[in-house]
A and B are shown apart, each in its own frame.
Chain A
Amino acid sequence: MRREDLVCATVEVLAEAETVLPSWVEEAIREAVERERNPIAQSQLSAILENIRIAAEGGVPLCQDTGLPVFCLEIGRDLSIPPFLEEAIAEGVRRATEEIPLRPNAVDPLTRKNSGDNTGPGMPDIIIDLVPGDCLRITAFPKGAGSENGSFLAMLNPADDPLDFVAEEVAKRAGRACAPVFVGVGIGGTFDLAARLAKRALLHMPGSSDLDMALLSEINRIGTGPMGLGGDTTALAVRIETALCHTASLPVAVNLQCWANRSSSATVRGDGWSID
């Protein structure tokens, strides 16, 4: 694998994710406009569709909050991992920040000093999965603060109902998280595994199990609506991922994603790369 291929693939998946939504996401918003009965909610959803069109046509970021750089890497087990792996992705983020451009969002958590190029300690955040094969698949999943700030984790009592808890909390928080939202739910595991499950649930969207659909209708029944202004469309999709947990625990994590569920993937091989 050539370093320059990985840098270029990183720039390109970020550019694509920031300006063009995955088609299933746009389709979910279109379907929601058809179903929505509240006229103010309809106006918010129509503005969102107009925004999606303008961003794609002009090649400009959908949202001024271009997010923190989060990537998911699927690494083939037969691949010899290059020494420049993380460094080349960071270089891609710096280049993308200049070229797309992206808003410099990454600051030191204590001094609040901006690094200026969206990279620095811990950034970009790179999630690694091992898969069969000899390729590397890189997915850009830029994460805005509005929906990230609405995310939450709780160590419930095993006697509690985790689904009721999630529905109520999401309904309360979705208005400030740029609803209609996508809801990634992690139930079980440990404190940190629950959070990782919730993030992976977002990456594996949309969900389709009976439980996913039941939680989706429960969230929407509550009526928070787009941007919290009221309506039928609070969430567009839910996905629940679970892991075994300790008999004394019930960890529950929810990672919210705003309607701009941005992501784009590319595959890097020994002899080049291409957008998926």
Chain B
Amino acid sequence: MEHRLRTPVSQDDVAALRAGDLVWISGTVYTARDRVHALLATGEKLPVDLAGAVIYHCGPLIRDGTVLSAGPTTSGRVGRYTRDVVDRGVRLIVGKGGISEDAEALRGRAAYLAYPGGCGALAARQLLVKELHLPDLGMAEGLWELEAEGWGPMIVAIDSFGGDLYKEAKRSEMRSE
């Protein structure tokens, strides 16, 4: 099934997603990787409101306010903060490689979407820069507020009901042995 979503994302939007579905996103997207997650976990107040938000595990390459390349970074490094993120109201997490060990924190509340890793030039075409928050963290680690227009397709890799494509791939590994 295909979903075209606009931010802020509602609980109903999330509940309609199933592992394997395709999603395109329009609206506001916030980048967050290691340093922003570490801040968030300390309970620090962030300069943006994450209710119904989409966060993107990404450290973009940006020059003069233009996104040049902005593919996902490995989500596994920040998976341990999933509950903190979802507690702040985030409903969609976009990344690569999955957060299977921490997926339980998504249940009933949020979903994880996979954007193809390394496809930075492709993603850049559908993302505009709105603002850089926390500029002291630098280009890769800062919190970029981006405007997405029909950004996708991405794949629902972990849905809010426990459906998980990474776990399915692992199960098929075990069957083949």
Question: Which residues on A are within 8 Å of B, measured CB to CB?
Answer: 40, 43-44, 47-48, 50-51, 54-55, 58, 60-66, 101-105, 114, 144-146, 149, 171, 175-178, 221-231, 258-260
Shortest CB-to-CB span from A54 to chain B, Å, is 4
With A40-B155, A175-B169 known as contacts, the answer to whether A227 contacts B121 (CB < 8 A) is no
User: Which of chain B's residues has its CB closest to A112's CB?
Assistant: B35
Q: Are B138 and A114 in contact (CB under 8 A)?
A: yes
Q: Are B122 and A63 in contact (CB under 8 A)?
A: no
In the complex, whether B117 has a CB less than 8 A from a CB of chain A is: yes
User: Which of chain B's residues has its CB closest to A41's CB?
Assistant: B169
User: Quick one: which of B120, B155, B176 contacts A51, CB cutoff 8 A?
Assistant: B120
For residue B129, which residues in chain A have a CB less than 8 angstroms away from its CB?
none
The CA of A3 and the CA of B9, in the complex, are separated in Å by 55
For residue B28, which residues in chain A have a CB less than 8 angstroms away from its CB?
none
With A101-B63, A230-B165 known as contacts, the answer to whether A51 contacts B119 (CB < 8 A) is yes
Interface size class of B (residues with CB under 8 A): 35 or more
The CA of A228 and the CA of B124, in the complex, are separated in Å by 23
Q: Are A62 and B120 in contact (CB under 8 A)?
A: yes
In the complex, whether B5 has a CB less than 8 A from a CB of chain A is: no
Q: Are B121 and A55 in contact (CB under 8 A)?
A: yes
With A58-B121, A176-B76, A228-B98 known as contacts, the answer to whether A66 contacts B166 (CB < 8 A) is no
10 tightest Cβ-Cβ pairs between the two chains A and B: A230-B169, A176-B97, A178-B117, A55-B121, A51-B119, A64-B120, A64-B69, A51-B122, A47-B116, A64-B61
Number of A-B contacts (CB under 8 A): 141
**Residues B21-72 near A (CB distance < 8 A):** 58-61, 63, 68-71
With A101-B61, A103-B140, A230-B165 known as contacts, the answer to whether A51 contacts B173 (CB < 8 A) is no
User: Quick one: which of B59, B97, B153, B165 contacts A64, CB cutoff 8 A?
Assistant: B59
In the complex, whether B168 has a CB less than 8 A from a CB of chain A is: yes
With A55-B121, A61-B61, A101-B68 known as contacts, the answer to whether A223 contacts B173 (CB < 8 A) is yes
With A176-B74, A229-B166 known as contacts, the answer to whether A65 contacts B122 (CB < 8 A) is no
Interface string of B118-143 (1 = CB under 8 A from A): 11111011000000000000111000
Q: Are A175 and B121 in contact (CB under 8 A)?
A: no
**Residues B63-116 near A (CB distance < 8 A):** 63, 68-71, 73-74, 76-77, 96-98, 114, 116
For residue B114, which residues in chain A have a CB less than 8 angstroms away from its CB?
227, 229
With A43-B155, A227-B96, A228-B98 known as contacts, the answer to whether A63 contacts B69 (CB < 8 A) is yes
With A114-B138, A176-B97, A259-B118 known as contacts, the answer to whether A229 contacts B70 (CB < 8 A) is no
Sampled A-B contacts (25; CB under 8 Å): A40-B20, A47-B119, A47-B122, A54-B125, A60-B69, A61-B69, A63-B121, A64-B60, A65-B120, A103-B60, A103-B61, A105-B140, A144-B118, A149-B74, A149-B77, A175-B98, A175-B166, A178-B96, A221-B176, A223-B169, A227-B96, A227-B97, A229-B157, A230-B172, A231-B169
The CA of A258 and the CA of B173, in the complex, are separated in Å by 21
Shortest CB-to-CB span from B125 to chain A, Å, is 7
Q: Are B69 and A40 in contact (CB under 8 A)?
A: no
Shortest CB-to-CB span from B65 to chain A, Å, is 13
For residue A64, which residues in chain B have a CB less than 8 angstroms away from its CB?
58-61, 68-71, 120
Q: Are A228 and B166 in contact (CB under 8 A)?
A: yes
User: Which of chain A's residues has its CB closest to B98's CB?
Assistant: A228
User: Quick one: which of A48, A66, A223, A231 contacts B176, CB cutoff 8 A?
Assistant: A223
The CA of A175 and the CA of B100, in the complex, are separated in Å by 12
12 more A-B contacts (CB under 8 A) besides A60-B124, A101-B61, A103-B140? A47-B116, A47-B122, A51-B118, A60-B121, A64-B59, A65-B59, A101-B68, A102-B61, A221-B176, A223-B173, A228-B169, A259-B118
The CA of A60 and the CA of B69, in the complex, are separated in Å by 7
